[in-house]
Structure 1
Amino acid sequence: MKMGITNPFKDQSLSLTKKLLPWTLYVLPPIAMLCLYFKPISFTPSSATELPHSSPITITSHSSLSFISAPSTSPPPKEKEKAYEKPCDYSNGKWVHDMKGPLYNDTTCGTIKYGRNCITHGRSDTGYLYWRWKPRRCNLPRFEPPTFLQIIRNKHIAFIGDSVARNQLESLLCMIATASTPNLIYQKGEDNQFSRWHFPSHNASISLYWSPFLVQGVEKSGTKPYNELYLDHVDEKWGRDIDQMDLIVLSFGHWFLLSAVYYENDSVLGCHYCPGLNHTEIGFYDVLRKALRTTLNSIIDRRGTKGNGIDVIVTTFTPHHFEGEWDKTGACAKIRPYRNKEKKLEGMDAEMRKVEIEEVENAKAKAREFGRFRLKALDVTKLALLRPDGHPGPYMNPFPFANGVQEHVQNDCVHWCLPGPIDSWNEIFLEMMKMWE
């Protein structure tokens, strides 16, 4: 190009730049925000927040402060270590209002036992459905059925114990059923006390084993007014299947309150409330301890020593809320949870929990030499104590007041309505499994 001739493209370029510059300054910040939204940065534990279930961000909440990270990145080892230094104490907290309500209702699953289907039986005060357990120093996420199924893929979970064990199992099945329908593949015994469900999508099985003492026992009958317990022999109704199990959930305690004769080393050790028999009265706390110790030792000996390992969870004792005679109106009539300081954990409830927690810790010490043996207590005693409103009460039977208020009516102040407070037990159960994974 010759000297003295201006470049028209250069002038146009300068003019265009001057015009576009202000618009660029307006446009860049929104673009930057969009980039951060679709490719989130990692936050430190102190900035953790709760996000919707559909969020692309993964939340792990096993520490007292939640740790949040994008799924495509992994936190440095040191940060990961800090997040798990202090596991969440799920036993310490309070019940708070939650208008989301439960994951399921009385018709979305076919596994609710007759006596726990409170809504179908006419219970109209549904306020008990809208509370969630909030641990004091951490977050308890809502139950995620796909996550639970992924963890138990190709595994067999066994619930062993009394009717409260069954209550927890039914709650779990109902929550999982919102994502995958369980197939009932086995039933046996009175009231189907031995049952198994299978999830073909994940080749996972969940079983129920009726064993109210965990150890060998003979239940009382019309001709025998007391139970018989053999404290040094595990109940083989579930013990013989232990090699088929990957995770065991133990839940028991209420049957130990009944009259019984106890045997150890093939001789009578004593009894609890056995008038007319010439046996020493020894109560039931030490017996509960012996039964749980025999059970945990048997699991360790049969699985831990073989090197194939197993996971065990002990659900602690859940208090009843009888405030009157079992056959009178109003035996458990409360319709709201207790406030945190309104009800103390004391007396028998505290002692039963104490025994179970101590035996879990003792078994942990014994099992340390077996690398693949894991054991934890699912401590729900206080959670349960604060929920007098969650029992079936008279609604263990359909429409008990259809003909007016009756003076005599059966009440269930031990088990839990489904859906109901016991669903929170399984939310904690899942978080414990996530920590193990």
Structure 2
Amino acid sequence: MAKAHQIVVWTWGIRNTFRSLVAILTTILVVSAIYLTQDAGQACEQRVVSSDSIPKCDLFFGKWVFDNESYPLYKEQQCTFMSDQLACEKFGRKDLNYQNWRWKPHHCDLPRFNATALLERLRNKRLVFVGDSLNRGQWVSMVCLVESVVPRSLKFMHTLANGSLNIFKAIEYNATIEFYWAPLLVESNSDDPVNHRVPERTVRIKAIEKHAKYWTDADILIFNTYLWWRRPVMNVLWGSFGDPDGVYKGVEMLRVYEMALRTWSDWVEVHVNSNKTQMFFVSMSPTHERAEEWGGAVGENCYTEKEQIAKEGYWGKGSDPKMMQLVEKVLEDLRTRGSNVQMLNITQLTEYRKEGHPSIYKKQWEPLTEEQISDPRTYADCIHWCLPGVPDVWNELLYAHIFHQ
């Protein structure tokens, strides 16, 4: 009987041990499965982030990488429609490294710009840039990027609207890439494409149709407006220019800027079908007019600069966060109303490029004074950008969003 009892106890012990082993093995398998699933999920997430998928990668935060094999994307001398305001090599610049920088987002790569693919996308369509001379520079860049694949006999440039509307046409594709001069988007006394430098800048804050009628049927719209607002107070006109009964009032700039953006956004909501038209708003293009902001000598600017700003997150005083926040607020409000305008946030990545400006290497539209000649810093252009150069990257970002939004 004792022996039988020992056998039962021994058998029970084996069963308990077996069950314990099974439980331990089951636990190990479950934990391993969870770990492997998480690891696979992370690997999958990494693969997604490393792709060209726009929603998974913030294209606007990264670093500049020197690349003299793939860049520049075109040669300055070979661009038929290059602007003398942006042709720095033509006007004597010798250090050309500014042409060889590629933008590398932190978690992915920008898709390679394909001129033929873009022209196919634009077949029977209009791509229109609207804004100031920075947007015009981006337009020139875009024309230079695509025109090399179009035979000379199948492309041309012409102007309309008293010179305000410049149109590049690729005949084979029946596609146009256009620029419309409207530096403040709404009507102003700076709307003449040539004679727009006036001492008292005035805007008709509720008037936009005079300009907007030239954009209404565009298929892709790219807007900007910033530098022309940089003054403490703007003159606002209620009425028409030349109307003796018009009412003028000086208003704090940020308030006027918001009013103009609201007028523009109301026009977008009413007149643009966002199911048909892709719309973009380009953020502020930084200036580099005070070298002390990046550690240079007081009184210096971008003149003679040959290197980028190395400090990640650098933000100069030439960029106004409050104005950028206003744009973001207006675009968000538009989205709630069913109109999608995407922000091309070029500001931070462009802040680093103090060496990319024309400086003194451009056509001078007015004779230089003896004082200017004796001190080139005084007439260095630290606002616009040499081409090939920074605006080509803006267009690579635009290209990515056109194809992957």
* Both proteins in one fold, TM over 0.5: yes
Q: Tell me: CA distance 1:386–1:308, structure 2 relative to 1, closer, same or farther (3 Å).
A: closer
Quote the offset at 1:137 in angstroms: 1.6
For the 8 Å contact 2:284–2:319, the answer to whether it is kept is no
* Alpha-carbon distance in 2 for matches of 1:103, 1:125: 17
CA distance in 1, matches of 2:144, 2:83: 11
8 A Cα contact 2:314 2:348, kept in partner:
no
Match of 1:65? 50
Structure 2 match to 1:321:
288
Q: Quick one: which amino acid aligns to residue 117 of structure 2?
A: T
Q: How far apart are the structure 2 equivalents of 1:202 and 1:224?
A: 40
How far is 1:98 from its partner?
A: 1.1
**Structure 2: where are the runs of 5+ without partners?**
1-42, 241-245, 293-298
Matched ranges for 1:351-430 at <5 A: 351-367=322-338, 373-397=339-363, 406-408=374-376, 410-430=379-399
Match of 1:242 among 208, 211, 215: 215
**Structure-2 change in CA distance of 1:152 and 1:45 (3 Å):** farther
Measure, in 1, the Cα distance between the counterparts of 2:111 and 2:96: 22
- Give the Cα separation in 1 of the matches to 2:399 and 2:142: 10
Mapped to 2, the partners of 1:269 and 1:389 lie a distance apart of: 41
Residues 283-298 of structure 1: pairs in structure 2 closer than 5 A: 284-298=253-267
Shift of 1:188: 4.1
Give the CA RMSD over aligned residues.
3.1
Q: Contact conserved, 2:288 with 2:316, CA < 8 A, in 1?
A: no
2:259 & 2:346 partners in 1: Cα distance?
A: 21
Distance in 1 of aligned mates of 2:399 and 2:313: 29
The one-letter amino acid of 2:100's match is: Y
CA distance in 1, matches of 2:128, 2:197: 32
In structure 2, how many angstroms separate the alpha carbons of the residues matched to 1:347 and 1:324?
11
Per the TM alignment, residue 287 of structure 1 is displaced from its structure 2 partner at its CA by 1.9
Superposed CA offset, 1:43-101 (max 9, x none): x85685xxxxxxxxxxxxxx63216xxxxxxxxxxxxxxx66x3421221111111222
**Matched-pair identity in %:** 25
Runs of 4+ in 1 over 4 A off after TM superposition: 44-48, 220-224, 264-270, 328-331, 345-348
Name the SS for the 1:396 alignment partner.
Answer: coil
Q: TM-score, normalised by structure 2?
A: 0.75
1:94·1:339 contact (CA, 8 Å) conserved in 2?
no
Query: In the TM superposition, what is the alpha-carbon distance from 1:352 to its structure 2 partner?
Result: 2.5
2:184 counterpart of 1:213 = yes
Aligned to 1:312: 279
| 1:166-185 equivalence runs, <5 A | 166-181=136-151, 183-185=155-157
In the alignment, the residues of structure 1 paired with residue 316 and residue 50 of structure 2 have an alpha-carbon distance, to the nearest angstrom, of 26
SS in 2 for 1:395: coil
- Structure 2 counterpart SS, 1:363: helix
| 5+ residue gaps, structure 1 | 1-43, 49-62, 68-82, 272-280, 368-372
Is 1:195 the equivalent of 2:166?
yes
- State whether residues 167 and 178 of structure 2, in contact with CA within 8 Å, keep that contact through their aligned partners in structure 1: yes
For residue 194 of structure 1, what is the amino acid of its counterpart?
A: L
User: After the TM superposition, which residues 7-406 of structure 1 pair with which residues of structure 2 at under 5 Å, given as runs?
Assistant: 64-66=49-51, 86-100=55-69, 101-181=71-151, 183-188=155-160, 192-219=163-190, 225-237=199-211, 239-258=212-231, 260-263=234-237, 270-271=249-250, 281-282=251-252, 284-304=253-273, 309-323=276-290, 331-341=302-312, 343-344=314-315, 348-367=319-338, 373-397=339-363, 406=374
Give the total of aligned pairs: 338
State the Cα distance separating 1:201 from its structure 2 match. 2.4
1:242 to partner: Cα distance:
3.4
What is the alpha-carbon distance in structure 2 between the residues aligned to residue 123 and residue 224 of structure 1? Answer: 31
Question: Aligned partners of 1:99, 1:223: CA distance in 2, in Å?
Answer: 39
Contact preservation (8 Å) 1:331, 1:413: yes
Q: Output one character per residue of 1:232-264: Cα deviation in whole Å (capped at 9) or x when no partner.
A: 221513x11334311111022111125630135
Q: Is the 8 A contact 2:57 2:108 kept in 1?
A: yes
Question: Partner letter of residue 201 of structure 2?
Answer: N
Question: CA 1:241–1:194 in 2, change beyond 3 Å: closer, same or farther?
Answer: closer
SS at match of 1:397: coil
- Does the aligned pair in 2 maintain the 1:332–1:388 contact within 8 Å? no
Deviation at 1:185, TM superposition (A): 4.5
Q: Is the 8 A contact 2:183 2:190 kept in 1?
A: no
Q: Which moved more, 1:331-340 or 1:217-226?
A: 217-226
Q: How far off is 1:317 after superposition?
A: 0.8
TM-score, normalised with respect to structure 1: 0.70
Query: Residue 94 of structure 1 contacts residue 340 of structure 1 at CA under 8 Å; is this kept in 2?
Result: no
Contact 1:322 1:331 in 2 (8 A): yes
**1:280-331 CA distance string (max 9 Å, x none):** x51x223222212211220220233xx8742211011111111279xx9855
SS of residue paired to 1:422: helix
Offset at 1:347?
7.4
Q: Assess if the C-alpha contact under 8 Å between 1:45 and 1:65 holds in 2.
A: no
CA distance in structure 2 between the partners assigned to 1:135 and 1:128 by the alignment: 18
Q: Is the 8 A contact 1:103 1:178 kept in 2?
A: no
> Are residues 339 and 243 of structure 1, via their aligned partners in 2, closer, same or farther at CA, if it must alter by over 3 Å?
same
CA contact (8 A) 2:234 2:256 kept: no
Rounded to whole Å, the distance in 2 between the matches of 1:188 and 1:222 is: 17
- Name whichever of 132-141 and 422-431 sits farther off: 132-141
